[in-house]
Amino acid sequence: MISLAELSQMNIPPEVLAEVQKYATPTGIADYAALAIIAGVSATFMSRGILWDKPDPYYHLNFERPQLKNGGQAGANANKETRNIAQKLEESGKKIVAFWGSQSGTAEGFAHRLAREISVRWGQETMTADLSDYDPVTISEIPSTKMVIFIVSTYGEGDPSDNTAEFWNWITKVGHVSLSNLQYTAFGLGNSNYKFYNQVVDVIVEGLETFGAKALMPVGRANDAEGATEEDFMAWKDSLFAVFKEKLGFQEVEAKYVPTLKVEEDESLEPIDLHHGEPNNQVDSPKGAAQSSPVRTLSITTSRELFTASDRNCLHMDIDLSNQPELTYKTGDHLAVWPTNPDSEVERLLEVLGISSRRDIPLIVKAADPATKITIPTPTSSIALFRCYLEICAPVNRDNVRDLAQFAPTPEAKTYLTQLGQDKDSYAAFTNRNNLNFGRLLQMACPGQTWNIPLSYLVETLPHIRPRYYSISSSSVVSPRKPSITAIASTTPLPDNPNELVHGVTSNYLLAISQHAQSQPHPHGITYHLNGPSDALEGGKVFAHIRRSKFKLPITSKTPLVMVAAGTGLAPFRAFLSERCQVQKIGKEVGQMILFFGCRNPEEDFIYRDELEEMQKTLGDKLRLVTAFSRTEGTPRQYVQDRISELGDEVVSLIDEGASFYICGRAGMAREVEKAVGTTMRRIKGWSEDEVNNWSKAVKKKNKWQEDVWG
């Protein structure tokens, strides 16, 4: 029996305790029962947050700075680092800092390349810096004797990258700050298929100029829509170096590789001490870690082919979260898959570098420069580097072609690489005929020879493997523990050599897993180390994590929907419709929906056709499915934007009723869809161009127009 003294220590509300005291002495069975109930209620109240209503263990991630989420060695160092960039420059003796704001890693790679070249070619001590690692206001403390370079990307609707967000908020909202001592230059990465092409760099430059910063040269811009990002960057870099020489009086010196990292063998380490290829998004991508779960090994339970075409593959894969209870997803989220490189390319690079026999020797990666951050897991091995950590299948840019000449084993190879790297037209013609990755280039430049290239150069130069994101094609309401993804296997022939194919790394990795489960080889004979490091992926598993997305259904199921998709862009709408079907089955009202879907032809690549038709039966007149086929024999080509124009009255009617508008697919398609909607609004409502633009901005601000697009 619990005592009154004990009850008084239980934080029971005073009014309840007073009532208990009135009847402190039980006189019968009813009194004992009442006391038992009160004790149970009290125990339940006290156990809140311990046994029930427990807080989300990952809730704190929403409020942590990205750079404090690195973990491991990098994380430990980050916690000790100053967040004052002026102080960092002074302490490290650097004259120039190249800030980067990057979502996919391209801007980050450019910053590292530029910093290395400035250091070795111009003798100016240069460091790179993640924009999220430093307090924005501290750039005002950088003296005029130093220089700042901004290399920032724009994606989506003019959005800054995750690691640029803090600086973006500061530069756009700060009341006043003096940047009169700051001299800078800036380069932006964007895609003109998006409406707000390179908006991030333009807004940043506008803010810098407002507060008195001095631009050393006009802002540079890359346009990925034309595949010109690399050449745009190199042209801007040449202009920057002209400024170095003509305005700043820097003296150019003979370029010679000076490592910022040390990669050393240490045979005293045991295999258990090494990182064998396991990814860690808290280190490799700290800027996006706050929006993502940790990486886990997830089982692919089922896989099926969606295309009927013999020369193209599109996979539907169901993923099992049952063994990872901390992982959850919501309809519209993304699944990030971490790939490995194909065996043939791994072996090619090991062989041409002459380290095949030392592939498993432990390696330690250290910083030779205190301003350099290490993002490769260490200690590791060469086989793990080439298989899991470095993008060895990526094309080699002209800068790197030229750099490799210093390591050439013969004078002929040196001349070959120098000429190829210097001539833009020769390089373009060469890459149109040849699949030019790192290992292949070394073999072509000097067949049969071994190259003596420091591993530190490869770690510094080659892009690091990053995950590929797939829109989850299942509803978390219908299938909470088994998300699915839809992936088309990418295989692209070279422009001037159709027999030479370039295979997408992750999509073909997934295809190999699917084929292996059916005891079938990859259609192109590509093999991968499917068991993964330490056999962690044996039995059809992948390293993956969940990334939260803003691409969400409206809270109210009665809200009408307009959905536009092409190809695998249908994936999230399969999830949306599945969820609406479930909502209707439990008796809730659902809003009117129209789905525009485009593909080549209905016989080969109309994915999920049977399911869509079944959902159309379930939803009845609530769903209208409108198709557009671009390669149907005997009929004119049609695209989703054409069908939107045809059915403009219906689309505008739904928008007027409060519909949410969604687009998923390539950025070029999204741009054409927006044009078609704008033209329709002008026709029906008699609006001017300005009125359409104002409407467009308003609906996007309210999240009534959402896009999940790429390329």
Which residue bears the tokens 């082919």? 305
Do residues 673 and 645 lie in contact, with contact meaning Cβ atoms separated by under 8 Å? no
Residue 631: other Cβ atoms inside 10 A: 11
Which residue bears the tokens 């045809």? 646
pLDDT band at 73 (very low <50, low <70, confident <90, very high): very low
Tens digit of pLDDT for each residue in 331-344? 999 999 999 999 99
Tens digit of pLDDT for each residue in 5-49? 544 455 555 554 455 455 445 555 655 555 555 555 455 445 444
The pLDDT score that the predictor gives to residue 60 is: 37
Gyration radius (Cα) of the chain, Å: 29
Give percent of the chain with pLDDT exceeding 90: 77
Tens digit of pLDDT for each residue in 365-423? 999 888 888 889 999 999 999 999 999 999 999 999 999 999 999 999 999 999 999 98
635: left (phi over 0), alpha (psi -120 to 50) or beta: beta
The pLDDT score that the predictor gives to residue 76 is: 38
Q: Is the pLDDT at 2 greater than 60, yes or no?
A: no
Instruction: Fill in the amino acid letter for 505.
Output: V
Q: How far is 347 from 695, CA to CA, in rounded Å?
A: 55
The pLDDT score that the predictor gives to residue 32 is: 55
Q: How far is 59 from 77, CA to CA, in rounded Å?
A: 24
* Cross-strand bridge partners of residue 710: 666
Mean pLDDT, range 537-548, rounded to an integer? 96
Q: How far is 197 from 357, CA to CA, in rounded Å?
A: 49
Mean pLDDT, range 476-490, rounded to an integer? 97
- All structural domains of the chain, each given as residue ranges with its CATH number in brackets, are 4-46 (no CATH), 79-246 (3.40.50.360), 261-290+341-461 (1.20.990.10), 561-710 (3.40.50.80)
Q: Mapped to the 3 state alphabet, what secondary structure does 451-518 carry?
A: CCCCHHHHHHHCCECCCEEEEECCCCCCCCCCCEEEEECCEEEECCEEEEEEECHHHHHHHHHHHHHC
Q: How far is 53 from 566, CA to CA, in rounded Å?
A: 42
Pairing of strands 220-223, 183-190: parallel
Q: Is the pLDDT at 53 greater than 50, yes or no?
A: no
Specify the pTM.
0.84
Average pLDDT, the chain: 88
The pLDDT score that the predictor gives to residue 63 is: 34
Q: Is the pLDDT at 652 greater than 50, yes or no?
A: yes
The pLDDT score that the predictor gives to residue 469 is: 94
Q: Is the pLDDT at 692 greater than 90, yes or no?
A: yes
Tens digit of pLDDT for each residue in 262-305? 999 999 999 999 999 999 876 644 556 678 899 999 999 999 99
The pLDDT score that the predictor gives to residue 289 is: 67
The pLDDT score that the predictor gives to residue 239 is: 96
Please spell the DSSP secondary structure of 100-114, one letter per residue. Answer: EE-SSSHHHHHHHHH
Tens digit of pLDDT for each residue in 660-688? 999 999 988 999 999 999 999 999 999 99
The pLDDT score that the predictor gives to residue 42 is: 52
Cis peptide before 379 (omega within 30 of 0): yes
CB environment 329-356: b (16+ within 10 A), e (fewer): bbbbbbbbbbbbbbeebbebbbebbebe
